[in-house]
Amino acid sequence: MQHSKVVGGSTAKRVINCPGSVALVRRMPPQIESKYAAEGTMLHNCMDRLLGTEDVMGAIRADVSLTEAQVEKLTFCVNALDQIDPEQKMNFNQEVTVEFEGVKALEGVFGSVDLIGKIGDRMVVLDWKFGDGVVVDAEENPQGLFYAAAAKKTSSVQWAAQDTSEVEIIIVQFPVIRRWVTTWARVDQFERDLIAAIKLSQRPDAPLEIGDWCRWCTAKPVCPKMTGAIDRAIQTALTGISDEDLGRALALAEKLEGFIGDARALAMQRLEKSLPVPGYKLVPKRATRQWVDEAKAEQALMAVGLGADDIFKKELLSPAQAEKVAKKAKVDFPADQVVAVSSGNTIAPESDPRSAVVLVGQQLTAALSKLQ
């Protein structure tokens, strides 16, 4: 996904909420593409080819190696258009570069949107999301608002905005389609907010603010807000802390975990280039013993009197592994033999869709104590 260096669709939320991050990000070295980002790029390219093609696998199997999970996601995305546009009345363009042509303070700002379309008096902004870790909402989606605002000013796709009264932002993320309809007044307000943030980012005292937009910010390791939060956290004694302060500490911990990961990645990147990181060095990880040659090792173990049952182990496939085998063999998977067992409890924010654990034992003990 291509976008301008100052701000793009994926960074609009961060820039609006934390204008000072623009200068900090400029100080960071170029980022190495992760395997997840590379997979996303590959699947986006596949979607670009697949739309309008009936045979999903036949179109790309010849030159792209896909896992069953990737095929399932691509098939879902192609079929999603039938739900979004059942009567096939939508005109659309794929992989469109949109920019704020003629908008002061946003000169050179652009982004690449997966699909821009038009159905009746509605412009459609659609984004394919192939990641599994983070659920992306359509409502008040800054990336979608960015694309809508820029598309309105882009001569090549202005036809999608002309004579429309509303904008629909659609996020297709397996296995759910999320949709949100808004007005052009909301899109125009987003553009004004973006302009104000860009102007503010050019000031030497541009404000910094910690929030969920920090998650993908590459400047976390050098952010004063983050480093200051760490200093405060280290000095905080958790013994006897109030419920409210503990909740705030957990919210802060979630943000600091991202900071820690980014700091370690940046340090590794520098050390691997022989650049100094005071107080740290590269060392080999803990060594694990391996067979030099498994075939020869098998013969040697047999030679000393060990049998096949002694040196080989056989175990039943896990339900997930067996389900894949059954699907490939085109036989019914015995779902009635499977039960989902949690490995334990974990902490999650109140907004998490999972139900809270009911601690029956503790509640019963507390109730009985009141009866005594």
pLDDT the model gives residue 186: 97
DSSP strand pairing (122-129 vs 110-119): antiparallel
Torsional class of 120: left (φ above 0), alpha (ψ -120 to 50), beta (otherwise) = left
pLDDT the model gives residue 203: 93
Paired tokens of 345? 């409890």
Helix axis angle, 184-201 to 142-152, nearest 10° = 100
CA 311: distance to chain centroid?
Answer: 43
Non-local (6+) Cβ contacts of 349 within 8 A are 251
Helices (H), 170-223: 184-201
Phi, psi of 115 (to 5 degrees): -155, 130
pLDDT digits (tens, 9 = 90+) for 181-197: 999 999 999 999 999 99
Q: Which residues of the chain fall below pLDDT 50?
A: none
pLDDT the model gives residue 50: 78
- Prior bond to 204 cis, omega within 30? no
Place of tokens 């999320």: 178
* CATH code at 9-201: 3.90.320
Helix (H) or strand (E) segment spanning residue 243: helix 243-272
pLDDT the model gives residue 366: 54
User: Quick one: 194 exposed, middle or buried, by C-beta within 10 A (0-12, 13-18, 19+)?
Assistant: buried
pLDDT the model gives residue 223: 86
Paired tokens of 82? 């039938």
**Global confidence as pTM:** 0.67
Using CA atoms, how far residue 140 sits from 12, 15, 62, 149, 278, in Å, is 12, 15, 39, 13, 43
pLDDT the model gives residue 234: 63
What are the boundaries of each domain within the chain?
9-201, 219-272, 291-325
